[in-house]
Each structure stands twice: as structure tokens, then as C-alpha cells.
Amino acid sequence: MVPPDNKPTVGSGFNSCLIRVQSLSDAVRILEDLGVERGGVTIMKSKMRHLVVSVENIQARATHILKQVMLSRGGECATPREVYLLTNEPVKVVMMGTVNQFRDAIINLRLQPFGLSRLAAELQELIDGAGSGVTGMRTIEAGRHSLTVGGRTLVMGILNVTPDSFSDGGMYNSLDEAVSRAHEMVEAGVDIIDIGGESTRPGSEPVPPDEELRRTIPVIKAIASEIEVPISIDTCKSAVASEALDAGAVMVNDISGLRMDPEMVALVSEADVPVVVMHMQGVPQNMQDNPEYGDVVQDIARFLREQASVAVAGGISREKIIIDPGIGFGKTLDHNLEIIRRLDEFKSIGYPVLCGPSRKKFIGAVLGRETDQRVFGTAATVAFAVDRGADMVRLHDIEEVLDVVKMSDALAGRDEGAAVSTALSRPDRP
């Protein structure tokens, strides 16, 4: 099954997202991109000093109420210049104000027509999250393991048992090599090992399920009882995920965002395991063929929010969903830089955020480095991602970059407590 591209959809919620505004030039860009008149930009740019929230799918006639409600509380609501010529058509707005101004406005919006009462509920969830650090500290149960997110950054180690992955293809083809590498990563301090049997580099072709199983299952079986960190299976196929979970994996990493295999949601729900929902525009064969977005961060946020809702509707616990904006999967150099620069905006969705920049092509494009020479570029990107609130980072170079993660956590003031425990080490075990 080929997943559809992530296009904006009307009626799927308001995609309310906190926007990062670091300077007046940021404010001007956001307002101009929205289509605000020049005079409005001049007036409103200085008001974007507190919370700034982008909201989609607002009926044009409702924007007038929304603006008046925000103004009456001392806040503001920017609208596109053509909004006065429209009625029911959906438009995007940008709301701005303090937390208290938003809370006061929400009370009023609950009583308003044209879908604004539903917006009030979504804004309430968003503002509550912003007030508590968005995701806060939480524990994700993964089999006999517990992962704590919201404290120190978790490190997911990449173990590709493929002949053709873009970075490490062929390095761990034999069972002994793969098992040895798994132990090396655990010794270095990795929190999760992500095992994949299908290359998803740009232009790659799908691998039959039987071949993917042949590559991954023996490795999972060999290490599941020997290591004290969770094992994740990197696959879009429910048949592969099912056997991997039976073999000892306790987590699913789906690059298609639960779109490629209609059985994946049911499988993850029944197994009650954590799942990474990743964004990808297109499929690996064509994802780098001129990828396009409106606002890359908000388009991806919309997709991730909708797919997380699909997961919850299918029985997957909200507490077991992790989102990944999919660095390098249907993105240009500028898209990737913008995603990492604004990574904290994805926290608005309310789920832990995984960032996977390791050795990616955009690092090579900036530095002029080949794949095996991108360790320092990866390290710099990871440090920035940690500062922007990444809950997990996915890495090849565990030994080299783990120190960067630890140092970045220390500088960011993140909790140094254990982020992973097992049933054997938990004090409350029976």
C-alpha cells in the first residue's frame, strides 16, 4: 500500500501549534507569510513576545469573533488580508498573548459558534501542555523495560542488518557482527537498540517480508535475553513487526507513520507496545523528487497529529506514542534545517519527540563531507536538537556522540536520573 502525501485537510482539527519567535524579523516573516497587511505587521510584530499559536481551519466568519475575544483580553489575533471577503472558507490565523490572556479567551470561546467551542478545547490542551513543559516527565512501558522521557535525552542506537543502507549497509550482515555491535552499543550507554532489515535510503526498493524477517529475527532472538535495554523493530510491515515482537522486540518504529500497512495499528494496539510515528512525504523510491510544503513544520505537525489520532482511535495508548518529523525523508536541505531549528514546535502536539539526523545527506551538503565523515556534523546537530527539546535522538555513532548528548543535557539542566529501567531493577517489582 502506497501512503498518500501529507496534504492539508479541512475538518481534521485546528492543528494548533506553538510557534518559535526569536526576533522581530521572525515575527515579521510569520505575519507576512500569513498574508497580514503591511500596517498590521507593523502593529502586531511587537506583540509576539509571549505565546504565539498558529491555528488552521478557522471559518472566515469566525475570525472576527476570535480577533475581538483576543483583543478584549489584551491579546491579538492576526488574520490574512482577504478574510473580510470570505465567509465559511477555512483560513489560518496566528494568535498571540500571555498564558493568562489565552486562558481568559478560552473561557469565552467555549460559548461561541462556528466551531470556536471546539477550538477552545484544543487551545486548552495546548496551553496546559505549554505550562507544564508540554510533555512533562512521563514513563513509557516497553515490555519489561520502562523509558522515562522528559528528563535526560534518550539515545536510540541504529543497527541496520542490511546490505544497502545509506550509511552502514553491509557492516553488520552476519549474525556475529550484529550481536557484537549490539553489545558494543549497550556498553557505550545506549538506551534503545533499533534493528532494521530494509534500507529506506532515497531511491531504495522495498524488501519482501520474508527477506526482512531473515535479516532481523535471528539478531533479535540472539540479543533479547542478553542485553538490558529495549529492542525496537524498524519496519512498516505488520508481519515483520509481529514476529519481531514475538522474538523479543518491545517497540515498533514505523517510518510510514502507520500508513503503509493497514494492519499495523491493530498489531501495535494488541501488543500494547510503544510506537514511533514518523513523517515521510511519499515513499523511499520517490521521496526526494522535489518535496514541497507550505510551512514545513506546521504541515508535518498536522500529519503527525492526525496519525497519532488514528493510532489512538485504533486502540493504541496515547502514553505509548512517540513522534518523529522524519529528517531526510522527503525534505530538502532547507526543510531539514528548518525542522531542527523549530523542533520544539512539535512538542505542541503533546507527544515525546524523536529526532534522527545521524549522518544524513543534509549534513554532508552543509559541510561537504561524505557519509563516513559526518560525525562532527551529527554531533553539532544533535546538540542543537537537545537544546530544542528532543526527547530521543537516533544515532549510528554512539560512542562518539553520546558524550555530546550528556553534555548538552547538563547545559540544558535536564534531569540526570536513570531514563531506562527493567523489571529486574525496579524497586517495585514483585
Say which amino acid occupies 267: L
The one-character DSSP state at 292 is: -
Residue 413 has pLDDT above 90, yes or no: no
Contacts with 51 (C-beta within 8 Å, 6 or more apart), sequence order: 18, 96, 97, 98, 99, 102, 127, 130
The C-alpha atoms of residue 299 and residue 325 are separated, in whole angstroms, by: 10
Q: Whole-number mean pLDDT of the chain?
A: 89
Residue 421 has pLDDT above 80, yes or no: no
Specify the pLDDT at position 199: 83
The C-alpha atoms of residue 261 and residue 353 are separated, in whole angstroms, by: 23
Instruction: Read off the pLDDT of residues 331-389 as tens digits, 9 standing for 90 and up.
Output: 999 999 999 999 999 998 999 999 999 999 999 999 999 998 999 999 999 999 999 99
Q: Which three cell numbers stand for residue 232?
A: 525496537
Specify the pLDDT at position 414: 82
Specify the pLDDT at position 1: 40
Instruction: Read off the pLDDT of residues 36-66 as tens digits, 9 standing for 90 and up.
Output: 999 999 999 989 988 999 999 999 999 999 9
Give span(s): CATH 3.20.20.20, the chain.
Answer: 138-422
- Please give the CATH superfamily to which domain 138-422 belongs: Dihydropteroate synthase-like (3.20.20.20)
Query: Which range (138-147, 162-171, 312-321, 401-410) has the least confidence?
Result: 162-171
Closest CA to 404 of 140, 191, 395: 395
DSSP strands (E only) in 119-168: 138-142, 145-149, 154-160
The C-alpha atoms of residue 238 and residue 240 are separated, in whole angstroms, by: 5
Percent of the chain residues topping a pLDDT of 70:
90
Instruction: Read off the pLDDT of residues 161-200 as tens digits, 9 standing for 90 and up.
Output: 987 554 554 566 789 999 999 999 999 999 999 999 998 8
The C-alpha atoms of residue 309 and residue 4 are separated, in whole angstroms, by: 17
Q: Please compute the mean of the pLDDT values over residues 298-307 and round it to a whole number.
A: 95
146 φ/ψ angles, rounded to the nearest 5 degrees: -125, 130
β-partners of residue 422 are 145
- Give CB contacts under 8 A, 24+ apart, made by 398-401: 398/155, 398/157, 398/184, 398/185, 398/188, 398/189, 398/190, 399/184, 399/188, 400/375, 401/358, 401/375
Specify the pLDDT at position 340: 97
Quick one: residue 138, left, alpha or beta (phi over 0 = left, psi -120 to 50 = alpha)?
Answer: beta
Instruction: Read off the pLDDT of residues 135-158 as tens digits, 9 standing for 90 and up.
Output: 568 899 999 999 999 899 999 999
The C-alpha atoms of residue 163 and residue 307 are separated, in whole angstroms, by: 31
Instruction: Read off the pLDDT of residues 109-138 as tens digits, 9 standing for 90 and up.
Output: 999 999 999 999 999 988 887 655 555 688
Percent of the chain residues topping a pLDDT of 90:
76
The C-alpha atoms of residue 376 and residue 152 are separated, in whole angstroms, by: 21
Say which amino acid occupies 388: R
Q: What is the largest CA-CA distance in the chain?
A: 68
Q: Would you please indicate which residues are annotated as catalytic (active-site) residues?
A: 360, 394
